[in-house]
């Protein structure tokens, strides 16, 4: 399964609203557009936040460890932002943006946070890099978890 991992949802703790693509302009909506996915394709991906209402490095680290130990071979995590990548700490250092690695059969990918404040998305090739990351993650993920995305076909 491919799971997108974010920081937190300031609007509430309900898991089904993690990185939800509504209202337009929110982080989930921006990410859906960046990745070139329809709403149906985007919502078919797993989505989770590491914290509830307020960021805590310790809580995020504990949630990341639980996600990792609950993952199976062929699962993938797309980590959004430096804080999330640092919580997973998969390579001894946070994975740089637009990177992909596999550890014990679990794929980890890092993208910049999709907030409107993140300047990394201003680079001319940022969207292309993000779609390439999704393509690589989709190829490495188990077949049952791969979305049928336009991003993969482009």
CB of 86 within 8 A of CB of 44?
no
| pLDDT tens-digit map of 25-56 | 899 999 999 999 999 999 999 999 999 889 99
**Please, what is the end-to-end C-alpha distance for the chain in angstroms?**
21
Instruction: Give the residue extent of every domain in the chain.
Output: 2-143
We find that the CATH architecture of domain 2-143 is 3-Layer(aba) Sandwich (3.40)
Distance (Å, rounded) from C-alpha 35 to C-alpha 73? 24
Highest mean pLDDT of the ranges 33-42, 95-104, 138-147: 33-42
> Rounded to two decimals, what is the model's pTM?
0.88
């Amino acid at each position: 399964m491919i799971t997108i991992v974010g920081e937190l949802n300031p609007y509430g703790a309900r898991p089904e609203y993690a990185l939800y693509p509504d209202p337009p302009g929110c982080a989930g909506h921006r990410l859906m557009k960046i990745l070139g996915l329809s709403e149906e394709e985007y919502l078919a991906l797993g989505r989770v936040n590491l914290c509830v209402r307020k960021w805590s490095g310790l809580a995020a680290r504990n949630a990341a460890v639980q996600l990792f130990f609950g993952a199976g071979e062929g699962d993938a995590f797309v980590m959004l932002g430096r804080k999330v990548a640092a919580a997973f700490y998969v390579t001894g250092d946070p994975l740089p943006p637009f990177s992909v690695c596999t550890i014990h059969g679990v794929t980890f990918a890092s993208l910049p946070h999709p907030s409107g404040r993140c300047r990394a998305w201003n680079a001319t090739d940022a969207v292309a890099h993000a779609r390439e990351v999704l393509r690589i993650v989709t190829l490495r993920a188990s077949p049952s978890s791969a979305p049928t995305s336009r991003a993969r076909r482009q």
